[in-house]
Structure 1
C-alpha cells in the first residue's frame, strides 16, 4: 500500500504591522479661543454681528441721502402733504403780553418760510422772540389744526437809562426794553452815563439802605464808572464816595441827617460826601433862587453845622 504525502501549502508571508497614524493636532486660533471663552453662544454672536452690519449700512444710506438732498426732499414733501390736509399755520395766540407790542410777536411767529404745522421750527421761533428786549422767556407750541400758541413772560421796567442823548426803558437787570421820548417816559428813576444800566441792581442795593430816600429820588448818574451822584425830586444832588460799602454808609448817614434837620427841599444845591471825613454843602448864589429860598438854605446849613458841633 503506497503512502501519499500531502503537502501543506505555505502560509502567506506576514505583512508587516502598520504603525498607527499619528493624529494631527488641530490648532485653535486665538480668535476662536476668545470666542469660545465668551459667555454667549456663537449663534448669538452671529446675530449681533448681523445687526451691527445692518445698522451700519442703514446709517451709511441715511448719511448719503442727507448729503444728496433726498432727506430734505422727503421732509419737504411730507410737510406739504400735511399743509394740504389743512394743518397749516393760520393764527397766532399770544398769552401773557401786557406791555409788549403784540404785532411784533405776530411778525416773528409768522416769519416762517413754510407755514405747514409739520415744518414750523418751534425752537427757531423761540430764539427769535428771545432777541426782543421785552421778552424774558417764551414758550412756543402747536395747537392743531392751525394755531401757534406763544406764551410770554415779560420784563418789568425799573428805570430809564439816558446815554448819548437817548432815553431807553430798562429792567432791574439793566436789559434795554425799548426807546422812549421825554413826552412818553414813565415816572421811573433816571440813570445816566455809560454802563449805568448795568449798575441798576447795585443802585437798588444802595437805596435799600435808605428806604426813606428812595421815593424822593429823581435819578442817578454813574460817574466815571466808579461812583454815584443821586438827584432828588426837590432839586438837590448828593455825591457819594467810591465803593459800595462806603456809598451805603454815606447814604445811611445822609438819611439820618435829613430826618433830623430836614435838608431836602430847602434850596441847597449839592451835598458832597465823596470825602468820608467831610460833609460839604453847596448853597445857591443870590439871584439863583428867591430870597426866601436862599435864607431857608442858609438856615439849613447853620442848623446842620450846629448839630455837628453838638454831636462832636
Structure 2
C-alpha cells in the first residue's frame, strides 16, 4: 500500500507565519500602548498646564470670581472644553455671554459681555443693580437709570429677581411723567408706587396691566380737582382719594 506522505514543511511554514503575525500584532499593540503613554505624558506635561487666565469685558463680575468659576487653572490646555467653560460662566447673574479661547502653551482668554443695569433698587442692606427683565445682577449704583426705594418684604441678592413687569415699566413711567415724578417706591403692601412732586401717590401693584393703568392715570391727570392717592391695582375699579375744597 502506498500511504499519504506527511507534509511537515507546509505545517512548519504555517506555524511560522502564524507566529510571525501574532508576534507582529503584539509588537504593534505594545507600540500603540507605548505611543499612547508618551502622548498622554506630552499632553499632560507641566509646560501645557494653564497658568494664566485673562478676563476681558468685566465690570460687575470680579475677575478672580470668573477665573475660579471657569475651573481652568492647572488643567492641561488640551483638556479645556471652551464651550463647557462658557456655559458655566453664564450662570453668573452679571454675565450674558462668554467666549473662551486657548492660547498655547499655558494661557486661556475669557471675553465677557455683561448684562446692562436698567434700574437701581435701594434697600436697607444696600443698592442693587437690576436688568430690564428684573434679574438682580449685582450690588452697586448706576447713574442715568431709575432708582427705586424698597420698603420691606423684598430681600434682594445677586441672581434674585424683582417683578419683571415692574422692571419693564420703570423706564416708561420715568420718560412719561418725568416732570411730575418725585420718586419711585416698591412696598410690600402696595407694590410699585409713583410719588409725584405734589405728594400724590399712584399705586400700580406689580404693573401686570400696565397699559390699562396708564390710560386711567392719564385720564385722572386731566381732572381739575386735587387728589392725593390713586390705587390702580385693578384698573377696572380705580380708587381715588380727593382733597376736599
TM-score range, shorter chain: 0.5 to 0.7
Q: Which of these residues, 69, 81, 85, is aligned with residue 121 of structure 1?
A: 81
Q: Which of these residues, 93, 115, 138, is aligned with residue 178 of structure 1?
A: 138
> Residue deviations 1:44-73, cap 9 Å, x none?
xxxxxxxxxxxxxxxxx9xxx9xxxxxx97
Residue 44 (structure 2) pairs with residue 80 (structure 1): yes
1:270 alignment partner in structure 2: 229
User: Which ranges in structure 2 are unaligned for 5 or more consecutive residues?
Assistant: 1-28
Deviation at 1:75, TM superposition (A): 7.3
CA distance in 1 between partners of 2:206 and 2:72 (Å): 51
2:146 alignment partner in structure 1: 188
- Specify which structure has the higher proportion of helix: 1
Give the TM-score, by structure 1 length: 0.49
Give the TM-score, by structure 2 length: 0.60
Q: Which of these residues, 159, 168, 174, is aligned with residue 204 of structure 1?
A: 168
Aligned counterparts, 1:250-261, within 5 A: 250-258=213-221
Whether the 8 Å contact between 1:209 and 1:252 is mirrored in structure 2 is no
1:69 alignment partner in structure 2: none
Whether the 8 Å contact between 1:209 and 1:248 is mirrored in structure 2 is no
Whether the 8 Å contact between 1:206 and 1:244 is mirrored in structure 2 is no
CA distance in 2 between partners of 1:149 and 1:126 (Å): 11
- Specify which structure has the higher proportion of strand: 2
> Residue deviations 1:235-290, cap 9 Å, x none?
54212378844x42232332354366597xxxx653234564555226xxxxxxxx
CA distance in 1 between partners of 2:121 and 2:188 (Å): 14
2:194 alignment partner in structure 1: 231
Q: Which of these residues, 99, 103, 109, is aligned with residue 64 of structure 2?
A: 103
Whether the 8 Å contact between 1:238 and 1:270 is mirrored in structure 2 is yes
Q: Secondary structure at the match of 2:55?
A: strand
> Structure with the greater relative contact order (CA < 8 A, sep ≥ 6): 1 or 2?
2
Provide closer, same or farther for how the CA distance between residues 217 and 101 of structure 1 changes in structure 2, counting only shifts above 3 A.
farther
1:159 alignment partner in structure 2: 119
Deviation at 1:219, TM superposition (A): 2.7
CA distance in 1 between partners of 2:72 and 2:205 (Å): 53
User: Which ranges in structure 1 are unaligned for 5 or more consecutive residues?
Assistant: 1-60, 66-71, 283-297, 303-312
Aligned counterparts, 1:274-289, within 5 A: 274=233, 276=236, 279-281=239-241
Count of residues paired in the alignment: 203
1:248 alignment partner in structure 2: 211
> Residue deviations 1:9-39, cap 9 Å, x none?
xxxxxxxxxxxxxxxxxxxxxxxxxxxxxxx
> Residue deviations 1:206-228, cap 9 Å, x none?
8648842267373343767xx74
> Residue deviations 1:157-192, cap 9 Å, x none?
123446896753221112221245xxx576633275
Larger Rg: 1
Whether the 8 Å contact between 1:207 and 1:214 is mirrored in structure 2 is no
